[in-house]
Amino acid sequence: MLGCFVCSARGADLAEKFEPNIYVPYQDLAQLIDPADKAVLMDRAEFEKLLAAAEANARQIDILELGQVKHAEYSAEISGEQLTLTGELEVVSMGDGPVPVPLAFAQMGLTRVVMDGKPAPLGYDKQGRLTLIVTAKGSHHLEIAGTTKLKELTSGGMQFGMSLPAAVAGTMKLSAAGDLEMHATVPVSAPVYDKETDRTNVELTIGGQDRLTVVLLGNGRQEDDRAILLGESAAMVSLTRSHQVMGCLYTVQVLRRGVRELQFQLPSQWTITEVTCPSLVRWSVATVENETGQGSKILTVRLRSARVGTTALHIKATAPRTGEIWHGPRVILVGAVFQRGYLMVNTDEGLAVRGEKLTGVRREDVSAAASVPGIISAAAGRLYFHWGDNWSVDLELAAVPLRRSIKEQQRLLCSPEEVILSGDFEVTAIDRELFDISFVLGG
């Protein structure tokens, strides 16, 4: 038993002797700690001594707040889903001895706190508040650095929040990648977008504020690169001898990242007359030419906020119609990974379809239109299902001549006073509807 006891004791001594120590470079602390942790606290025993002296000094003077943050200047830069914050604060002490100054940093990980060029006496007081002990009277220069994480919003965009020491006056310069809109719980300047660096910069006024929440909305180039767009359309085109009218319900599925701007491409001969969407801010149309010299219309739709999920738009357009060959209009979502849809073509009684040529398109039974939102079924219409970007529907149209079958019976009644002509006519329209009848009476 004694031998076993000695072995156990020696084993314990060896464990204490060879207990490993892990050393971490100071600049790498931000990668190891949680954003809610504090990594720059002084020794607990030393801090409690300073805190006790500061509290005794405050009780002696009968003033609780002998120190405060007079001015604060912060600089924040967003990279990916992380915000890096640096700041310079002016801390003023009105006491001759140690004075506690609460620093309300929260929801972020501090990686550096330096006062007057030396590590700051920093720790938690009895109320659990992060507290700085100022040991000399007058103004002191405090430098801080830290990081926090951004949270992605379900409706699109990013958000971050933090608590800061309430300064008499202060500002924060915030910079983020992309062309963004920024909204905050404190006064914020108008966003300034720099195209060369692809960054948006704003300045926040944080004087007198101890909490800050910022929401970033938009679809800058970096955000657009990560968005996935899927499109599905349901278009109806009504054809007459002289013009054509189109109504299109386009449904966009936005995945991964929200987008605030959508673009659609249409043939150049079409004039867009109306665009509706629940979150529409404005829409505009521009004409562009491709390498072959053929033009097309680019419809740009600006949404109220960066959208993730389903967005439905109604697009109406009109165009003249000439010639015997009709080309179906393609409404293409620019930047879509994949798109598909239905096209319903209705012709009036004066036109007949003599032939069709389809590419990337399948003819569907017209009864299937009843199950497609945005399309009204018509017995005389043609329904097509298309997929991809390079589909085409070409129809050969011909004017339908008006043919009539007439049965008539005329009677002529003569008397010394007058001549009466009467007749009964039965007119049957063939191939197309008949809207009017003209009679010619000879003189």
Average the pLDDT over 323-340 and give the result.
93
Question: How sure is the predictor about 258, in pLDDT bands with cuts at 50, 70 and 90?
Answer: confident
- What pLDDT was estimated at residue 223? 43
Give Cα 70 distance to the centre of its chain: 39
Q: How far apart are CA 142 and CA 68, in angstroms?
A: 12
Q: Is residue 437 part of a domain?
A: no
Note whether 208 and 354 are same-domain residues.
no
Note whether 369 and 254 are same-domain residues.
yes
The CATH number that applies at residue 204 is 2.60.40
Would you say 131 and 51 are in contact if contact means Cβ atoms under 8 Å apart?
yes
Average the pLDDT over 222-244 and give the result.
83
Question: How sure is the predictor about 130, in pLDDT bands with cuts at 50, 70 and 90?
Answer: confident
Question: How sure is the predictor about 413, in pLDDT bands with cuts at 50, 70 and 90?
Answer: confident
Note whether 201 and 242 are same-domain residues.
no
Q: How far apart are CA 95 and CA 58, in angstroms?
A: 8
Question: How sure is the predictor about 173, in pLDDT bands with cuts at 50, 70 and 90?
Answer: very high
* Residue 97, domain extent: 24-222
Would you say 262 and 276 are in contact if contact means Cβ atoms under 8 Å apart?
no
Note whether 259 and 167 are same-domain residues.
no
pLDDT above 80 for 307: no
Question: How sure is the predictor about 198, in pLDDT bands with cuts at 50, 70 and 90?
Answer: confident
Q: Which tokens belong to 395?
A: 């129809």
Q: Is residue 432 part of a domain?
A: no
Q: Give the least confident one: 63-67, 239-243, 301-305, 386-390.
A: 63-67
pLDDT above 90 for 25: no
Note whether 63 and 188 are same-domain residues.
yes
The 10 Å Cβ neighbour count of residue 194 is 11
How many domains does the chain divide into? 2
Note whether 263 and 326 are same-domain residues.
yes
Note whether 41 and 182 are same-domain residues.
yes
Give Cα 112 distance to the centre of its chain: 35
pLDDT above 80 for 400: no
Note whether 49 and 74 are same-domain residues.
yes
Of the two residues 6 and 73, the one the predictor is more confident about is 73
- What pLDDT was estimated at residue 158? 85
Give Cα 107 distance to the centre of its chain: 26
Name residues whose C-beta falls within 8 Å of residue 219's C-beta, 6 or more positions apart in sequence: 178, 179, 227, 257, 258, 259, 260, 261, 306
Note whether 250 and 211 are same-domain residues.
no
Note whether 233 and 149 are same-domain residues.
no
Average the pLDDT over 242-254 and give the result.
94
Average the pLDDT over 31-38 and give the result.
50
Q: Is residue 239 part of a domain?
A: yes
pLDDT above 80 for 292: no
Average pLDDT, the chain: 82
Phi then psi dihedrals of residue 52, to 5 deg? -65, -40
Q: Which tokens belong to 18?
A: 């060879």
Q: What percent of the chain has pLDDT over 70?
A: 80
Question: How sure is the predictor about 336, in pLDDT bands with cuts at 50, 70 and 90?
Answer: very high
Q: How far apart are CA 329 and CA 394, in angstroms?
A: 10
Phi then psi dihedrals of residue 346, to 5 deg? -115, 130
- pLDDT by residue (tens digit) across 35-77? 444 445 556 666 666 656 656 555 554 545 578 888 999 999 9
Note whether 139 and 96 are same-domain residues.
yes
Note whether 247 and 215 are same-domain residues.
no
- pLDDT by residue (tens digit) across 430-441? 766 667 777 777
Average the pLDDT over 132-146 and give the result.
88
Q: What percent of the chain has pLDDT over 90?
A: 34
